[in-house]
Structure 1
Amino acid sequence: MKLILSIFPLLFITFSLQAQFICSNPSKMALDAKIKELNKLPVEGITNNEKLSLIGNTFLGQPYLEKTLEVGEKEQLVINFIGFDCTTYVESVLALTILYSDTSLESLRTINHYASILERIRYRDGVIDGYTSRLHYFTEWVRDNAKKGIIKDVTVEIGGTEYTKEINFMSTHLSSYKQLDNDKGAVEKIKCVEEEINKKKLSQIYINDIESIDSKIKSGDIISLVTKIKGLDVTHVGIAVREADGKIHLMHDSQSKGKVVITDKPLYEWLKNSKINTGITVARIN
């Protein structure tokens, strides 16, 4: 049985009363504790960007943990609140922001409702249909969630530039993806995904231009780091936050730091000597 709930003008959420997901007892306890913590925060009367930034900040210090979604042979919705990688951190914060979109609906702040939102964010068209239905490329993640009405890509709008690059990293590095190795059907599906991505130009704000458009980035914007790596679109994602120096910094789950942190330098300065990144993309919650 499914109920269609319009929880606020942002989007319609499909909420399954029998949502299927994997969540360990420690993760469930951590999620329950997070909801209780957020219930005490001043989330009323602020913008969705401000809410996303506020919620993201509550994760500072949470440990970095990679490959948390690679559980079992069958693709299932994984909820892990013990540790995050950069993408699952952003997805979790976005899902919680939507969960708190209407502060009058406190009764809906349950793990089942959270799971339904997370599934909608993480999977193409909001539906799990095997490993290839997960939005692996962040470019497609942004486009798909924009199509759902959850976010908007504002990269070009605030000063970015379109460019062309062939995206094919997954299909050309099969040994890095155990779910694709020796599965010709899955490989063909990923190739179709890559073909769809390549039908449209990509966009980025080049590193040298970030400082000049800093004022156009908002706290709570979702930032991805565009890469030089052949066949790949981005290597890292995080959340923009404007710090006491008046400049945008990046709040992200850092592999090198081993936890969620905020960069000690403004984003443009932090990136200026990068050897693998060329710029950023900016997406904004609706």
Structure 2
Amino acid sequence: MKNRLRFHFAYILPIRYPQRFIFSCLLILFGLLSVSVIAQTMPDDLRSLTVVGGKTLPETAVSIGKQFLGTPYVPNTLDINATEQLVVNLKAFDCTTYLETVLALSLAWHDLTDKQNQAQLNVLFRNYLTKLRYRNGAINGYASRLHYFSDWLRDNERKGLLKDVSGELPGCLSVAKPVSYMTTATYRYPHLSDPAIFKQMADTEAAISQQSFYFIPKKNLKQAEAHLREGDIIMLTAARPGLDMKHVGLAVRQGNRIHLLHASSEQGEVVITRYPLTDYVQWHKRLSGIRVARLKAPGTQPSPRPQ
């Protein structure tokens, strides 16, 4: 009987009290819209993130990076939309989205004037994520995303966000390596079925292929390891033809050795390598060595690139 009475009450409320009914509906609708807006502008996982900043950007990056330990590895999270737009996902990463997220949060935190202002942190974070991920910091279609890490590194060094220090480390070599992986493996990249986008990526590959760069081959890693710093951006170069970098992460110190903090496809989550970076690279036949970059404080002028 109680359930039946409640039903009749709900049924007659719109008829007897139309103003109250409309007002109640508006309140519910406003509440739902508010939740939707908050979810889009301030993800729950960002609100719950406790940022413990360091004295330097690299220290902050390591601190933030470790908070994501155990976060699942999920590939292709940036390709969920028909048109290119900023994707923010703090609940699943591949190696690139993990690194970009950690760096963007670190840069945003150091720019933040009021460390308690979550809304401002969110805006700065999204701005830096866009700046890191896209050529010239602007979203202009699929090809504007910095897919190749050689391209990513050069573009972000030009923006003044980081510095490529590979050429300053002992044992480094200068090489030029043609890249063609994306346009020769189009089955992995559905967007390349569009001829215009395919041409844009082919042009990008041609430009990258003409650029030389410094890297530390795996045989020289032992002598370079002593010069690596915690918080360095580590890019693991690919041994296979047509591909520049195969994996990325952050350098962290465990005891007196450098390990890699990264989103691991092998282990299915964000982890710190069990073995030192030098051993990790040596044991992986698909890796040829590393490149190294360091975050720079915002506003710092880019350093000249070694010739």
Partner of 1:88: 97
Which of 50, 53, 57 is the matching residue for 2:62?
Answer: 53
Q: How does 1:9-88 map to 2 (within 5 A)?
A: 28-34=43-49, 37-38=50-51, 41=52, 43=53, 46-88=55-97
Distance in 2, Cα, partners of 1:197 & 1:155: 17
Q: 1:259 aligns with which of 266, 269, 272?
A: 269
Q: Helix, strand or coil for the counterpart of 1:275?
A: coil
Note if contact 2:176-2:210 (Cα within 8 Å) is conserved in structure 1. Answer: no
Partners of 1:23 and 1:80 within 8 A in 2:
no
Residue 199 of structure 1 deviates from its aligned partner by: 2.2
- Return the match for 1:268 from 264, 275, 278: 278
Matched, 1:175 2:187: yes
- Measure, in 2, the Cα distance between the counterparts of 1:27 and 1:255: 28
* 1:1-286 matched pairs, under 5 angstroms: 28-34=43-49, 37-38=50-51, 41=52, 43=53, 46-102=55-111, 104-106=113-115, 107=117, 109-159=120-170, 160-181=172-193, 183-244=194-255, 246-286=256-296
Q: Which residue identity lines up with residue 66 of structure 1 in the other structure?
A: P
Shift of 1:117: 1.2
1:284 CA displacement:
0.5
RMSD: 1.9
CA pair 112-195 structure 1, distance change in 2 beyond 3 A: same
Which stretches in structure 2 are left out of the alignment for 5+ residues? Answer: 1-36, 297-307
- After superposition, what is the alpha-carbon deviation per residue over 1:87-123, rounded to whole angstroms, capped at 9, x for unaligned? 0000000001101114533336432321111101100
Measure how far apart 1:55 and its partner are: 1.4
Find the aligned partners of 1:66 and 1:175 in 2 and give their Cα distance: 15
Query: Larger Rg: 1 or 2?
Result: 2
Deviation, 1:73, is 0.7
- Are the structure 2 counterparts of residues 26 and 98 from structure 1 closer, same or farther at C-alpha, using a change threshold of 3 Å? closer
Give the SS at the match of 2:179. Answer: coil
Distance in 2, matches of 1:155 and 1:102, equals 27
Extract unaligned runs of 5+ from structure 1: 1-21
Structure number with the higher helix fraction is 2
Letter of the 1:30 counterpart: D
Seen in structure 2, the aligned counterparts of structure 1 residues 59 and 27 have a Cα distance that, compared at 3 Å, is: farther
The 3 A distance-change label for structure 1 pair 133 and 272 is same
- Output the TM-score relative to the length of structure 2: 0.80
Is residue 132–residue 190 contact of structure 1 (8 Å, CA) maintained in 2?
A: yes
Name the structure with the higher strand share: 1
**Displacement of 1:236:** 0.7
Distance 2:42 2:92 in 1: 9
TM-score (norm 1): 0.85
